[in-house]
């Protein structure tokens, strides 16, 4: 009874912690999205400078990550040579900067709810780019699933009350760059045995993003900011916004590290529906029935895609355990044969001794 009670307490504690990590991640992700929308939207805080906002985030995250890695030494830096940094990290930093720039820019033109619907295309982009880069195998059933997701998003776009072509182009560009970044991480880092957690990722990648964003910032936004010299920089607004963005990365680390990437995907679906409801009820964005039907279809496609991924992952884990068990049995048989051989060799002198007598 005692051991059963201890087991139940351990399982209960694990479940409570998992739900806690999920809740923290949903809250921070929700907060960052709404906060960015509030700052960038012309009808709210009215600070339509997405490159500047992204640079503020990257500067804050770079500084905080450096403090955690080099000063507090809470996380060990990854052993990385300059050639690997130049050939692997910098391209990923470029893709990340473009993804953040375009996704933040989309908040100026599109509603939060519609942006979440467009983000449902992420599995489609990741799979398509993975096939092109030979990281995914082409399967007809998977491609049909990708088509169903795309059709659902197209229906949602058709029903969008405040459709803005430029905003859609920006968000689709952000999805494409982010999907390419995820595939490039597998090709340029994971394949070389380099694994970055969110803190070390920001430590290495955020400074690259800051450098890449500086050029378009000087050309596009700096002249406007210079003309608007009367603007007072609100340290409270941008400080808390940047801290939330950094905390979100830590929440990702906790969620994926303590649960699984699949849990994060499921939590992401819950967060998307919450954002759609919040956008409709609080921000007063128009969400039409056609929007919901289209996103519902896309949601089913994404859920099925995650289900197939889970089944594949379980099959691989089962094969790995089976191989380990086979290796273990082979090792036991080999040790048994060695011991039997040693026993036979030890018995031979006795046999010779007996024959002499």
- How do residues 160-170 score in pLDDT, each as one tens digit? 988 999 999 99
pTM of the model: 0.82
Please check whether residue 334 lies inside any domain of the structure: no
Q: Does 6 fall in a domain? A: no
Q: Is residue 1 part of a domain?
A: no
pLDDT > 60? residue 139: yes
pLDDT higher at 197 or 71: 71
Residues 6+ apart with CB under 8 A from 357: none
Question: Does any domain span residue 327?
Answer: no
With CA atoms as reference, report the closest residue to 62 among 38, 96, 104: 96
Give dist(CA 50, CA 115) in Å, integer: 15
Farthest-apart Cα atoms in the chain, separation: 113
If pLDDT is split at 50, 70 and 90, which confidence band does 39 have? very high
Residue 351 lies in a domain: no
Does any domain span residue 251? yes
**CA 251 to each of CA 35, 59, 117, 228: distance values in angstroms, whole numbers, following the listed order:** 17, 19, 23, 36
Among 53-57, 125-129, 139-143, 262-266, the minimum mean pLDDT is found in 262-266
Mean of all residue pLDDT scores within the chain:
84
Q: Which domain holds residue 242?
A: 21-304
- Which of the two residues, 112 and 354, has the higher pLDDT score? 112
Would you say residue 34 lies in a domain? Answer: yes
222 domain residue, yes or no: yes
pLDDT at residue 146 in the model: 93
Structurally, the chain folds into a number of domains equal to 1
- DSSP H helical segments within the chain, as ranges? 2-40, 50-66, 82-84, 90-109, 112-118, 122-132, 140-158, 165-184, 198-216, 222-227, 235-258, 261-281, 289-356
Q: Residue 265: which residues within 8 A CB-CB, separation 6 or more? A: 302, 306
Predicted confidence at residue 3, as pLDDT, reads: 47
């Amino acid at each position: 009874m005692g051991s059963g009670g201890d087991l139940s307490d351990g399982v209960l504690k694990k479940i409570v912690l998992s739900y806690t990590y999920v809740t923290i991640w949903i809250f921070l992700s929700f907060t960052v999205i709404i906060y960015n929308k509030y700052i960038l939207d012309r009808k709210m805080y009215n600070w339509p400078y997405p490159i500047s906002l992204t640079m503020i985030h990257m500067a804050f995250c770079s500084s905080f990550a450096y403090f955690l890695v080099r000063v507090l030494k809470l996380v060990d830096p990854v052993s990385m040579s300059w050639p690997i940094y130049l050939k692997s990290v910098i391209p990923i930093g470029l893709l990340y900067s473009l993804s953040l720039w375009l996704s933040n820019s989309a908040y100026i033109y599109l509603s939060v709810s519609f942006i979440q619907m467009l983000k449902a295309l992420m599995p489609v982009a990741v799979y398509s780019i993975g096939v092109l880069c030979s990281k995914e195998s082409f399967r007809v059933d998977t491609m049909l699933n990708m088509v169903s997701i795309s059709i659902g998003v197209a229906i949602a776009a058709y029903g969008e009350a405040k459709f803005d072509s430029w905003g859609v182009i920006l968000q689709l560009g952000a999805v494409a760059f982010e999907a390419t970044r995820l595939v490039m991480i597998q090709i340029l880092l994971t394949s070389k045995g380099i694994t970055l957690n969110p803190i070390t990722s920001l430590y290495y990648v955020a400074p690259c993003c800051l450098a890449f964003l500086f050029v378009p910032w000087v050309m596009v936004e700096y002249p406007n900011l210079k003309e608007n010299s009367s603007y007072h920089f609100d340290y409270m607004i941008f400080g808390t916004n940047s801290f939330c963005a950094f905390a979100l990365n830590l929440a990702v680390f906790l969620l994926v590290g303590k649960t699984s990437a699949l849990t994060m995907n499921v939590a992401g679906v819950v967060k998307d529906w919450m954002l759609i409801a919040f956008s409709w009820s609080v921000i007063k964005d128009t969400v039409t029935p056609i929007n919901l039907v289209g996103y519902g279809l896309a949601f089913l496609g994404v859920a099925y895609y995650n289900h197939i991924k889970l089944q594949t992952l379980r099959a691989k884990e089962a094969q790995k355990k089976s191989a380990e068990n086979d290796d273990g049995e082979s090792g036991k048989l080999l040790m048994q044969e060695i011991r039997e051989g040693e026993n036979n060799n030890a018995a031979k002198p006795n046999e010779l001794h007996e024959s002499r007598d």
